[in-house]
Structure 1
Amino acid sequence: MVIEAEGLGRRYRSVLALSDIDIEIGVGEIVGLVGPDGAGKTTLLQLFAAILDPSEGRCQVLGHDTVNEAAQITSKIGYMAQGFTLYDRLTVAENLSFAAKIRGVPGGDYMARRRRLLDMAGLTPFLDRREGALSGGMRKKLALCANLIHEPPLLLLDEPGLGVDPLSRRELWQILDDFRSEGATIVLSTSYMDEADRCDRVAFLDRGRLMALGRPDELRAQAKGLVHSIVSDRPAEAEAALHGMAGVLGIQWRADSVRFVMKPGADISQDEKARMDALGQLALAEPGMEDVFTILRGDESVPGEAETAVATRPAARAATGKTGEIATKGLTRRFGDFVAVGDVTLTIAPGEIFGLLGANGAGKTTLIRMLCGLLPPSSGSATVAGVEVTSDQGQLRQRIGYMSQRFSLYPDLTVGENLSFFASAYGLSRRDAREAIGWAVEMTGLGGQHGEMVARLSGAVRQRVALGCSILHRPAALFLDEPTSGVDPLARFRFWRLIRILAEGGMTVLVTTHNLEEAAYCHRLGLMDMGRMIAIGDLSALRAHFPGRELATAEDVFLAFMERERARPQSERAAS
């Protein structure tokens, strides 16, 4: 066995982060660790890496005890933390050379290994580029190469796909599969359930305990018959019908349906079936790993009375009284000779959820920053909520909300203090601020969190605080840049429910995401590549671009477009 843990636990003062973990991992396995925020995934990886000592139990890695023989373990393994462990002022070649030297890779082996890794990662053309100038996907691939340069028999990866576009994640997995085929063992944590599906076994952690361990197909079989969907043009009413229904564990509010998961052993009564059939078409759905996550998590997550009341009435009208239509014509942004966004023309209707998809560096964030008035366009025009983005910045900012990739909160302030600060920044009077904060707290489910320091909150709760701050002034248009990156499926379902409520009330939402399971929540999608908008439409319209091909998922559709673009000559892509 590569890893043998028995009764493994770790305590941080009075907090028991992990307890009673028993697991064995063999040669050549890929094992995925999944679970909600704070479940203990990172702590377990650090115990395996001999970075932390256990408070209880024992662990052997590669035949060595993690407490008494830590040096023998750390010299043999590769460990990639969530944060990039590279040097942003060094080039690709310099980072790899440094990693090889500290790992004692012989000079004769280094060049051959470097050539192979760079070719696998597609980084050969970028040898002389500084790490800080690479896209997020390229940085992750370089970090992986730096951890593989000494050809470790065990690779420990903490959220390797976090913040990486689907194309780059697929390339990361190709590298992992190649090394696994040579006998390497890989243990990784992930919040992407499609990555969990690619593992040989999945370990589900919750509140520091190992709740389930098995092959993905074994775990999905546990959810058979428990997942349902209601295809309806009245999703808010369909969700309200689920309120109070015993045994409902989780609800996903999608663009054209409501999907829900039942507790094992719970039944839907005939009266409840009749109520749902009156709203649309009720049917069993094929379970996925997200549904397994919901069942294993176990907590019933149906909204309470107050939340359901919010969901079933229109959200408060935007304070401006203006609709949130977004319209661009030939919108372009250049940085010297580099075209970050080129000739983008689109219209997004009030109340529409528009998903913006693309690889790292495709121009999504640059486009959002132009629409928010934070970056002037080089040419073209854009109107948001009735305001030309280059005309009146003050008026524009009163009509939009913006939640950036890195939540712009103050960690040393409480939730209430953050909300008060942003209300003041939006120019709300004390009376209006009190009303707005009450509405935002109700909308985002932050009741009881008012006095909590933001620094002590989980990522999922900070996410809702950031959303609350961005909608205090009831904007007509809301821009969300990678809002759900790194949060677990249940937190993501709850967050998207809030977005649907806001859109139902007429707020226009433009959202970027690398988690293509979220494409099902959007009314339409826009695909960007090299700064250009290469396709716009709902999933059905996008699939129609590839007649005869079986494109079952949103990721299949996305990758089909990206592959077609990559197959075009560079000169043709740049000119179009």
Structure 2
Amino acid sequence: MTTVIRADGVGRRFAGRRVLADIDLEVRDGEIFGLLGPDGAGKTTLMQLLAAILDPSEGQLTVFGFDTRHGAEEVNARVGYMTQAFSLYDRLSVIENLQFAARIRDVAASDFRLRSEELLTMAGLENARHRRAGQLSGGMRKKLSLCAALIHAPALLLLDELSLGVDPLSRRDLWRLLRRHRDEGNTVVISTPYMDEAEHCDRLGFLHDGQLVALDTPARLRRRVTGHIYQLATSHLDETEALVRSWPGISSLQRLANRLRIQLAPDQDVPVDALARLDGLGHLVAVEPTLEEAFIALSPLSAPAVLPPPMPPAFAATGVEVRAERLGVHFGDVMAVHEVSLRVPPGEVIGWLGPNGAGKTTLIRVLCGLQKPSVGRAWVGELSVTEQVGQLRRRLGYMSQHFSLYPDLSVAENLRFFAGIYGLAGRQRRLAIDWASHMTHLTGLEEQRVDALSAAVRQRLALACSILHGPAVLFLDEPTSGIDPLSRQHFWHLILTLAGQGMTVFVTTHYLEEANYCHRLGLMHQGRLIALDTPDQLRVTLGLPHDAGMEAVFMAGIEREQRRAS
């Protein structure tokens, strides 16, 4: 196989700050190579170096044998590069956007006709060729952007977080295009924050703080995880977790919705007497490591893997039931939500999955009192979401992917500001801030400015600000986007703890494996709630094996609904 990319000791600095260091890498033709890492790991900078947009500050980088410092023109002619914010022209149609991209790349008219037809068909956009780009869904826009990057048939395709924010159904279509391009003998380098997506790569590089800390196939990376890993299914989580915490040699303890995942040190195994004490509490089975566990094991992440039990709340948690009866929302002739009925008990974490445009966000806006339903009724506890909106909002917490923190204020100042918004003052405010800070592990960081915090700490601060007033119901919209896997595990530990204290939690996420943290999952498609059950029961209902991943569950549910509707 021919070497397409070779990096020897490559580094990059910005204003004296090292962003990449000592990158040694070889990528061959005909492979999909993945770069995996959280925000700030250096993925985008490395992509820009490979595209010859930036020069290395140190080391040597060649692409197709051309030094990127001196052969940028030769590199550019052979590369297609799609950034996170790939520019489409919203006023141009699908085909006009492709024509524009082709002209920039000097694609002959005869080649364009053949190439554009092939790409539009593969992307499922052939019937949308005359629609304006601004009228496309998020998934369709990403597919059009990928087609534009492929229009000149580049031998090397660079994709910076191609499917970030894209639903799993559209992600599957994007990957069909990538495999087709690879199978034609071309090379693809893709950066991604999604572990399930990384499994589709031929090889992976783990980036952490600008360094390449591991490089291998997904299967070999998983095999490098040391120590026994067990999963313990139980309906007595608190009691069982307290027992497991007493075991010697635990290197990681992860709490899911109805099970514990336990990793032991390499020289440890489950104590013999512990097996007897588990009798009647749960079922313990040995399991294989995940790619997420490999990333944590092979990256120098410093946060503890076994968190201490959190503080009790500063106020008594008042759990409420959330109910909806035949809810419907129509925008003109468009049915955004169609006859959704549900009951969510106090203390439940419920995850909402579905393609973009399925109605998840609209449904949550109705339950928050932000969108009036066209038909039907809904309540949070005894409060109607349409008739008692002012009282309702005092019972709710909301944390979005882009929660509005104030970057030039300190952690403590942000907490005091949001406490004031919630009407907290005096001793009540102090107790609430102390509780939220301890709950989210912000103690000791109070005087740090927000703009100096890592993405993971900002995420915890956003959560603290959203729970200060002790909401009965918490809505989380893509809450862990951009943070590293260990921080994501810790974040979910906090969410499950809040649920254990009586808070009801609604979550939307594109990280499918996060669905395992949810007690139940709601699967939406074209405005309809097509399934609502536990992850395990959904596997049974859909005829999937007990260890099927959430991507398989999602696809099976959507495909079943499509067959029913056809």
With normalisation by structure 2, the TM-score equals 0.93
1:107 matched to 2:103? The reply is no
Comparing 411-420 and 355-364, the one that deviates more: 411-420
Deviation at 1:25, TM superposition (A): 0.7
Residue matched to 1:223: 225
Question: Do the aligned partners of 2:523 and 2:531 also contact (CA within 8 Å) in 1?
Answer: yes
Q: What pairs with 1:301-450 in structure 2 (closer than 5 Å)?
A: 301-302=303-304, 308-310=308-310, 314-317=312-315, 322-450=318-446
Select the residue among 135, 138, 141 that pairs with 2:137: 135
Question: Do the aligned partners of 2:9 and 2:22 also contact (CA within 8 Å) in 1?
Answer: yes
What is the distance in 2 between the residues matched to 1:314 and 1:125? 56
Deviation at 1:58, TM superposition (A): 0.6
With normalisation by structure 1, the TM-score equals 0.92
Q: Determine helix, strand or coil for the equivalent of 2:309.
A: helix
Question: Do the aligned partners of 2:247 and 2:270 also contact (CA within 8 Å) in 1?
Answer: no
Question: Do the aligned partners of 1:250 and 1:301 also contact (CA within 8 Å) in 2?
Answer: no
What is the distance in 1 between the residues matched to 2:544 and 2:212? 44
What is the distance in 2 between the residues matched to 1:326 and 1:410? 32
What is the distance in 2 between the residues matched to 1:453 and 1:392? 37
What is the distance in 2 between the residues matched to 1:174 and 1:281? 39
Q: What pairs with 1:540-559 in structure 2 (closer than 5 Å)?
A: 540-547=536-543, 552-559=548-555
Select the residue among 476, 480, 505 that pairs with 1:509: 505
Residue matched to 1:293: 295
Q: Determine helix, strand or coil for the equivalent of 2:308.
A: helix
Query: Any gaps of 5 or more consecutive residues in structure 2?
Result: none
1:534 matched to 2:530? The reply is yes
What is the distance in 1 between the residues matched to 2:31 and 2:353? 32
What is the distance in 2 between the residues matched to 1:241 and 1:86? 55
Q: Determine helix, strand or coil for the equivalent of 1:544.
A: helix
What is the distance in 2 between the residues matched to 1:548 and 1:516? 16
What is the distance in 2 between the residues matched to 1:276 and 1:512? 37
Residue matched to 1:158: 160
Question: Do the aligned partners of 1:249 and 1:301 also contact (CA within 8 Å) in 2?
Answer: no
Deviation at 1:30, TM superposition (A): 0.8
For residue 60 of structure 2, what is the amino acid of its counterpart?
R
Comparing 254-263 and 110-119, the one that deviates more: 254-263
For residue 67 of structure 2, what is the amino acid of its counterpart?
D
What is the distance in 2 between the residues matched to 1:42 and 1:237? 44
Q: Tell me: CA distance 1:303–1:538, structure 2 relative to 1, closer, same or farther (3 Å).
A: same
Residue matched to 2:481: 485
Query: Any gaps of 5 or more consecutive residues in structure 1?
Result: 571-576
For residue 289 of structure 1, what is the amino acid of its counterpart?
L
Q: Determine helix, strand or coil for the equivalent of 1:101.
A: helix
Residue matched to 1:196: 198
Q: Determine helix, strand or coil for the equivalent of 1:128.
A: coil
What is the distance in 2 between the residues matched to 1:538 and 1:338? 30
Q: Tell me: CA distance 1:113–1:448, structure 2 relative to 1, closer, same or farther (3 Å).
A: farther
Deviation at 1:75, TM superposition (A): 3.2
What is the distance in 2 between the residues matched to 1:251 and 1:92? 49
Q: Determine helix, strand or coil for the equivalent of 2:207.
A: strand
1:453 matched to 2:455? The reply is no
Deviation at 1:132, TM superposition (A): 3.1
Question: Do the aligned partners of 1:403 and 1:470 also contact (CA within 8 Å) in 2?
Answer: yes
Question: Do the aligned partners of 1:248 and 1:300 also contact (CA within 8 Å) in 2?
Answer: no
Question: Do the aligned partners of 1:314 and 1:504 also contact (CA within 8 Å) in 2?
Answer: no
Comparing 338-347 and 413-422, the one that deviates more: 413-422
For residue 519 of structure 2, what is the amino acid of its counterpart?
H
What is the distance in 2 between the residues matched to 1:267 and 1:293? 21
1:54-75 CA-to-partner distances (Å, cap 9, x unmatched) read: 1110100122111111222223
Deviation at 1:245, TM superposition (A): 6.4
Question: Do the aligned partners of 2:540 and 2:546 also contact (CA within 8 Å) in 1?
Answer: no
Residue matched to 1:573: none
What is the distance in 2 between the residues matched to 1:4 and 1:533? 49
Comparing 546-555 and 229-238, the one that deviates more: 546-555
Q: Tell me: CA distance 1:111–1:554, structure 2 relative to 1, closer, same or farther (3 Å).
A: same
For residue 50 of structure 1, what is the amino acid of its counterpart?
A
Residue matched to 2:83: 81
> Once the two structures are aligned, what percentage of the paired residues are identical?
52
Deviation at 1:334, TM superposition (A): 0.9
Question: Do the aligned partners of 1:247 and 1:300 also contact (CA within 8 Å) in 2?
Answer: no
What is the distance in 1 between the residues matched to 2:396 and 2:276? 38
Question: Do the aligned partners of 1:542 and 1:557 also contact (CA within 8 Å) in 2?
Answer: yes
Residue matched to 2:271: 270
Residue matched to 2:210: 208
Deviation at 1:315, TM superposition (A): 4.2
What is the distance in 2 between the residues matched to 1:448 and 1:323? 31
Question: Do the aligned partners of 1:353 and 1:511 also contact (CA within 8 Å) in 2?
Answer: yes
Comparing 30-39 and 188-197, the one that deviates more: 30-39
What is the distance in 1 between the residues matched to 2:81 and 2:209? 24
Q: What do you get for the CA RMSD once the two structures are aligned?
A: 2.4
What is the distance in 1 between the residues matched to 2:273 and 2:437? 31
Q: Tell me: CA distance 1:381–1:120, structure 2 relative to 1, closer, same or farther (3 Å).
A: same
For residue 404 of structure 1, what is the amino acid of its counterpart?
S
Select the residue among 15, 29, 44 that pairs with 2:46: 44
What is the distance in 1 between the residues matched to 2:210 and 2:388? 51
Residue matched to 1:2: 4
Comparing 525-534 and 294-303, the one that deviates more: 294-303
Q: Determine helix, strand or coil for the equivalent of 1:86.
A: coil
Number of matched residues? 563
What is the distance in 2 between the residues matched to 1:35 and 1:163? 16
Deviation at 1:484, TM superposition (A): 1.9
Q: Tell me: CA distance 1:212–1:515, structure 2 relative to 1, closer, same or farther (3 Å).
A: same
What is the distance in 2 between the residues matched to 1:245 and 1:499? 24
Residue matched to 1:122: 124
What is the distance in 2 between the residues matched to 1:135 and 1:475? 33
Deviation at 1:498, TM superposition (A): 0.6
Residue matched to 1:234: 236
Question: Do the aligned partners of 1:354 and 1:524 also contact (CA within 8 Å) in 2?
Answer: yes
What is the distance in 1 between the residues matched to 2:86 and 2:471? 35
1:356-383 CA-to-partner distances (Å, cap 9, x unmatched) read: 1100110101111111011111111110
1:189-211 CA-to-partner distances (Å, cap 9, x unmatched) read: 11211222111111112222222
Comparing 522-531 and 44-53, the one that deviates more: 44-53
